[in-house]
Amino acid sequence: MKILVGYKRVVDYNVRIQVKPDGTGVVTDGVKLSANPFDDIALEEALRLREKGVAEEVVVVGIGPADLTAHLRNGLAMGANRAIHVVTTDAVQPLTAARVFQKLIEKEQPGLVILGKQAIDDDANQTGQMLAALWDRPQATFASKVEIADGKVTVTREVDAGLEVIEAELPAVITTDLRLNEPRFIKLPDIMKAKSKPIDSIEFGSLGVEANDHLKTTHYAAPAKRSKGVMVKDAAELVAALKQKGLL
Amino acid sequence: MSKILVIAEHLNGKLNSSTARAVSAAAAIKPDAIDVLVLADNADAIAADAAKIDGVSRVLTIARAENAHPLAAVLAPQIAKASAGYSHVFAPSTTFGKDVLPRVAALLGVAQVSDVMSVEGSHTFKRPIYAGNAIITVEADAGSTVVATIRTASWAAAATGANNAPVETLSVDVTLPTHTRFVELQSGKSDRPDLQSASKVVSGGRGVGSKENFEIIYKFADKIGAAVGASRAAVDAGYVPSDLQVGQTGKIIAPELYMAIGISGAIQHLTGIKDAGTIVAINKDGEAPIFEIADIGLVGDLFKILPELEQALG
């Protein structure tokens, strides 16, 4: 079985995001970029399935400008067999990303697609679900446990009410939650090895995908700040303050 | 002219209050009609609850055995069919809505607006990105159905009781897939208030130190009638189950009182509590970032302070 993994590059999760004063975007110049944390988890899960003998090949997919190859090399160093780079300088919205994956699926015929449940830049949480709809296949979102046997995948999902277990026929789309696994660290020899692994570049325009730019972002703003509070000395003062506000 | 379809969320035959929050967002558009769609195996009790929500014009039900559990692959084609004639389709931005609604949007071939915080116009919304560190204004295409999930913490639930909207059964002609099956829901049974909708929440973090120690959080929460939450660190360390996680990737909540105990306050956690009425922080590290957004802070040892608080409350 082949597994396709979405591997998006985002502003590193430790960066304190600043909105540009003119409201046209957030500051990304000179800011550290990293793999979307949920995508690292997706790749790790795919690698573990390969190590268990469930899958033979793991392919990481990135959509972005020419310099995205350095990021894809990290995915290869982590252990993916090869990478597909869909080249575009345009920002890609979730439905467009899902359509790109759909096209790649036609060619690659994977048994499983694993994506992060959301990217920590736009926090949209849509692409996996949209892909499953376009592909007309099962979706198992927010996965915290994945087991594959007999052409079926059993997924434990982190839902608001607790843990939901569902069973789906393959091929299917899984989106990862935080506790699915802990991604491995990249070792130096693997970085060397990754240099010889293939990256297929495909021009976005050659895929015949209709770009969906139905959502226009017209303004960026910093969030409203909470005003600085007060410090109390002890438990008695805290109780008094809460009682005064009518909260206890 | 706007006509809005709100997808009802429910569990064990009961309507979830997130539905009434989504109705509030729908009402902000001042539409001609707000219809609530209930997909269930037995929809009557849920529909009766939905009919009482202020502002609801009609409740539509699709009752089929296949709808016993909220499987996105099964529900989405029915919702997509039912959405014909509506200008907007809304669902709460809970794990239910986040799972099913993008699937609906893709079937309709339209974009989705995730986590609507405010309505600026019939096709203009504000939503958070970067864990709430930036708020963007987005404009949806005027010629397409607007599919959106509603950030529940930003919207008070629409009042219930005064309304008595008609309930109608809807039949949609659509073949449902059988490739996805529900197995079970492992739910921590609790008599405590529900974390998502509670007016008071007491949360513990890494500072609590262990699963055993977390009892002190439960005990204090019970004392003041609060729901229990946790930071990601506490969940990752195995102190509490994952459904208690509050933050960017967990639950986003807006209680009147939020007490963060032994939580340092990573940005991702703060995202989940920004809309709380009053935030109280108790932490032994006076430099912890949680104090930057707390309304009331107390520096000290939680294992000493919590018993003192209980005592002070009598």
Q: Render pLDDT for A170-187 as a digit per residue (tens, 0 to 9).
A: 999 999 999 999 999 999
Asked if A202 and A84 touch (Cβ cutoff 8 Å), the reply is yes
Which residues have CB under 8 Å from A71's CB, separation 6+? A7, A9, A33, A35, A62, A64
Type of residue at A147 = E
Rg of chain A over all Cα atoms, to the nearest angstrom: 21
Report the 10 Å Cβ neighbour count for A182. 11
Chain A 20-79, residues with CB within 8 Å of chain B CB atoms? 26
Please tell me the distance from the alpha carbon of residue A157 to that of residue A168, in angstroms, as a whole number. Answer: 12
Which residues of A are less than 8 Å from B184 in CB distance?
164-165
Choose from B15, B75, B81, B95 for mutation: most chain A CBs within 10 A. B95
Tell me the shortest Cα–Cα distance from B138 to chain A, in angstroms: 4
The predicted-structure confidence for A80-135, as pLDDT tens digits, reads as follows: 999 999 999 999 999 999 999 999 999 999 999 999 999 999 999 999 999 999 99
Residues of chain B with Cβ-Cβ distance to A157 below 8 Å are 95
- Closest in B180, B232, B235 to A166, CB measured: B180
Can you tell me the ipTM of this complex?
A: 0.96
Weakest-pLDDT range from A10-24, A192-206, A211-225, B21-35? A211-225
Q: What is the mean pLDDT of residues B28-51?
A: 98
Interface of B with A in 216-255 (CB under 8 A): 224, 232, 235-236, 241-243, 248-249, 251
Is A133–B130 a contact, with Cβ atoms under 8 angstroms apart?
no
Q: What is the mean pLDDT of residues B282-296?
A: 96
Could A214 and B184 be called an inter-chain contact, meaning their C-beta atoms sit closer than 8 Å?
A: no
pLDDT band at B190 (very low <50, low <70, confident <90, very high): confident
Q: Say if the Cβ atoms of B134 and A121 lie within 8 Å.
A: no
- Nearest chain B residue to A182 by CA distance is B236
Q: Do A247 and B180 touch (CB under 8 A)?
A: no
Q: What percentage of chain B exceeds 90 in pLDDT?
A: 94
Do the Cβ atoms of B75 and B89 come closer than 8 Å? no
A-chain residue closest to B232, CA distance: A178
- Calculate mean pLDDT across residues B98-112: 98
Sign of CA dihedral B270, B276, B277, B278: negative
Other beta carbons less than 10 A from residue B195's beta carbon: 23
Q: How close, in Å, is residue B60 to chain A by CA atoms?
A: 24
Question: Does B195 score more than 90 pLDDT?
Answer: yes
Q: Using H for helix, E for strand and C for coil, what is the string for A73-109?
A: HHHHHHCCCEEEEEECCCCCCHHHHHHHHHHHHHHHC
CA distance B247 to A236: 29
Q: How far does the CA of residue A192 sit from the closest CA of chain B (Å)?
A: 33
Q: Which pLDDT belongs to residue B188?
A: 74
The Cα of B183 is separated from the nearest Cα of chain A by a number of Å equal to 5
pLDDT band of A242, cuts 50, 70, 90: very high
| Distance between CA atoms of residues A199 and B276, nearest Å | 47
* CB distance B138 to A216 below 8 Å: yes
Q: Distance between CA A18 and CA B94 in Å, rounded?
A: 27
pLDDT digit string, tens, across residues A18-69: 999 999 999 999 999 999 999 999 999 999 999 999 999 999 999 999 999 9
- Locate all alpha helices (DSSP H) within chain A, ordered by sequence: 37-51, 68-78, 94-108, 127-135, 188-194, 235-244
Q: Per residue in A135-170, pLDDT tens?
A: 999 999 999 999 999 999 999 999 999 999 999 999
Q: Does B142 touch chain A (CB under 8 A)?
A: no
Sheet holding B296-299, edge to edge: A230-231, B296-299, B278-283, B257-261, B200-204, B227-230
Is residue B72 a contact partner of residue A168, using CB atoms and an 8 Å limit? Answer: no
Residue in B94, B96, B141 nearest the CB of A214: B141
The chain-wide mean pLDDT, for chain B, equals 96
- Measured in degrees and rounded to the nearest 5, phi and psi for residue A182 equal -115, 115
Model pLDDT, residue A195:
95
A121 and chain B in contact, CB less than 8 A: yes
Site of tokens 């939680």: B302
Q: Is the pLDDT of residue A225 over 90?
A: no
Scanning every residue of chain A, which has its alpha carbon at the shortest distance from the alpha carbon of B312?
A: A236
- To the nearest whole Å, the CA of B251 is away from the closest chain A CA by 8
Q: Does B145 touch chain A (CB under 8 A)?
A: no
A142, A167, A179: residue with CB nearest B181: A167
pLDDT of residue B220: 97
**Per-residue confidence band for B191, with pLDDT thresholds at 50, 70 and 90:** confident
Q: Is there a contact between B248 and A95 if contact means CB atoms under 8 Å apart? A: no
Per-residue pLDDT, A213: 76
Compute, in degrees rounded to 10, the torsion defined by CA atoms B78, B79, B84, B86: 160
Check B99 against A212: CB less than 8 A apart: no
Three-state secondary structure call for residue A141: strand
Q: How far is CA B293 from the centre of its chain?
A: 22
Nearest 5°: phi and psi at B264?
Answer: -75, -35
pLDDT tier at A199 (50, 70, 90 boundaries)?
very high
Euclidean distance between CA atoms B98 and A121, whole angstroms: 17
The minimal CB distance from B187 to the residues A122, A161, A248 is found for A161
3-state secondary structure of B94: coil
Q: Contacts of residue A174 in chain B, CB cutoff 8 Å?
A: none
In the chain, the amino acid numbered A37 is P
Residues 161-180 of A with CB under 8 A from B: 161-169, 172, 177-179
Average pLDDT, chain A: 96
CB A212 within 8 A of CB A204: no
| Chain-centre distance for alpha carbon B214 | 24
Cβ neighbourhood burial of B177 (10 Å; 0-12, 13-18, 19+): middle
Q: Can you tell me whether residue B274 is helix, strand or coil?
A: coil
* 3-class secondary structure, A31: coil
Neighbours of B293 (CB within 10 A): 20
**Smallest Cα distance from A4 to chain B, Å:** 19
Q: Give yes or no for A182 touching B (CB within 8 A).
A: no
